[in-house]
């Protein structure tokens, strides 16, 4: 195992973790942004499988949240307000009338305190951040740590932990865009995805969940036995159309099953397995990605990457049948998502 670090902008440090199999993970202390992830294909060729900017400065005004830690609340909060114990809290709007991914100057746009570590079998970076009281309109001060760990089993673990001084709301995720073709050689249309989910949340025209949990059976949202992402990108299903030609939906994992997602790409042979103790995942297929962005492996385009945002849904603030995102003052938020890389 090896870990290196270099300064890329004023006070920005990029850490690169390398395991004994040649897998490399690069991340910034700014936003906890995962900038590059290099893994082998079936022939052993090492290539980057995540989207990131060619110029680090572009992360400062990034509306796509490439590779970033998202919080305090991942996802959209309708009308930028919520009620907690009879009190209404108003947040800042940053997507029409709504509040998206923690708002402006959220976790994706702060410099985190960073501490690296390594031993014979793993290397990682522990990121810590303390938000101010009432930051962005959220009640309480949140103390958050996110730890990235790469090991010799070709696992990348993201461990999230948080406490708060007051009862508040919180659900964290990572917003990495994956493309297993390597070095952005093609879109994600032929990526094969399977996940143990029987229901997803219906969206309205503003991409806000309606509270209806729709069955995946007989729809392009059925990934229980595996399905190509192209199934939703070329679909006339109203929900795929609303999302801009693809997916931007919250899938609820089946109860009493270990949440599991598998992704494979036939040309490279690369495979990615995702396990988590989160109750669901937003799968987003970069339906609105700007074509003009200069990425490390070429220009961006629609369907250039797919995000798997493991999290609870902020729709639970309105629809209480969904897993809650409320965090009590004496409680600890503790979640983990594991990405495992292999090929066939």
At 307 the pLDDT is 98
Counted residue by residue, the chain has a size of 344
pLDDT value of position 257:
86
**Cβ(128)–Cβ(144) under 8 Å?**
yes
Residue 289's pLDDT is 94
Q: Is 309 a catalytic residue?
A: yes
* 87-101: pLDDT as tens digits: 999 999 999 999 999
Say how far apart CA 162 and CA 147 lie, in whole Å.
12
| Residue-wise pLDDT tens digits, 149-196 | 999 999 999 999 999 999 999 999 999 999 999 999 999 999 999 999
> What is the distance between the alpha carbons of residues 138 and 136, in angstroms, rounded to a whole number?
6
Instruction: Give the three-class secondary structure for 315.
Output: helix
**CA 265 to CA 182: how far, in whole Å?**
10
Establish whether 303 is a catalytic residue.
no
Tokens (6 digits) for 88: 């209404």
Q: Of 175, 191, 249, 303, which one is the catalytic site residue?
A: 175
DSSP 172-217: -EE-PEE-TTSTT-S-STT-EEEE-EEEEEEE-TTS-EEEEEEE-T
| Complete domains list, the chain, with CATH | 2-189+274-343 (2.70.98.10)
Question: Under a CB-based contact definition with an 8 Å cutoff, are residues 272 and 340 in contact?
Answer: yes
Within 13 Å, how many C-alpha atoms sit on residue 16's CB side?
Answer: 12
Q: What's the pLDDT at 301?
A: 96
Q: Which of 5, 171, 46 is nearest to 101 (CA)?
A: 171
Q: Sort 224 into a burial class: Cβ within 10 Å, 0-12 / 13-18 / 19+.
A: middle
Selected catalytic residue, list 47, 122, 265, 309: 309
Please identify every stretch of the chain with a pLDDT value under 50, giving residue numbers as ranges.
Answer: none
Of 45, 24, 46, the closest CA to residue 36 belongs to 24
Continuous segment of H or E residues that includes residue 230? helix 230-233
């Amino acid at each position: 195992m090896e870990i290196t670090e270099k300064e890329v902008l004023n006070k920005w440090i990029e850490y690169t973790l390398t395991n004994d199999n040649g897998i490399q993970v690069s991340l910034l202390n700014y936003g906890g942004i995962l900038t590059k992830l290099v893994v082998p294909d079936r022939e052993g060729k090492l290539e980057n499988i995540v989207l990131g900017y060619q110029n680090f400065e572009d992360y400062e005004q990034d509306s796509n949240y490439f590779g970033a830690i998202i919080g305090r609340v991942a996802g959209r909060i309708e009308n930028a307000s919520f009620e907690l114990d009879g009190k209404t809290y108003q947040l800042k709007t940053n997507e029409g009338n709504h509040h998206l991914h923690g708002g402006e100057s959220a976790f994706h746009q702060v410099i985190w305190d960073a501490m690296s570590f390594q031993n014979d079998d793993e290397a990682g970076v522990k990121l810590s951040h303390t938000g101010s009281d009432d930051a962005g309109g959220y009640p309480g001060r949140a103390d958050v740590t996110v730890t990235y760990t790469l090991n010799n089993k070709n696992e990348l673990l993201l461990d999230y932990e948080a406490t708060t001084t007051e009862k508040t709301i919180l659900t964290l995720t990572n917003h990495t865009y994956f493309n297993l073709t390597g070095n952005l050689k093609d879109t994600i249309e032929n990526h094969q995805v399977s996940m143990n989910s029987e229901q997803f949340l219906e969206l309205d025209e503003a991409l806000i969940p309606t509270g209806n949990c729709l069955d995946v059976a007989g729809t392009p949202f059925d990934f229980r036995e595996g399905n190509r992402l192209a199934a939703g990108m070329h679909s006339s299903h109203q929900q795929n159309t609303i999302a801009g030609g693809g997916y931007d939906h919250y899938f609820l994992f089946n109860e009493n099953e270990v949440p599991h997602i598998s992704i494979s790409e036939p040309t490279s042979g690369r495979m990615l397995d995702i396990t988590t103790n989160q109750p669901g995942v937003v799968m987003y297929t970069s339906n609105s990605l700007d074509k003009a962005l200069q990425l490390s492996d070429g220009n961006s385009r629609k369907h250039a990457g797919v995000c798997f945002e493991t999290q609870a849904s902020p729709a639970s603030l309105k629809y209480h049948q969904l897993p809650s995102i409320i965090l009590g003052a004496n409680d600890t938020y503790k979640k983990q998502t594991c990405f495992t890389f292999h090929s066939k």
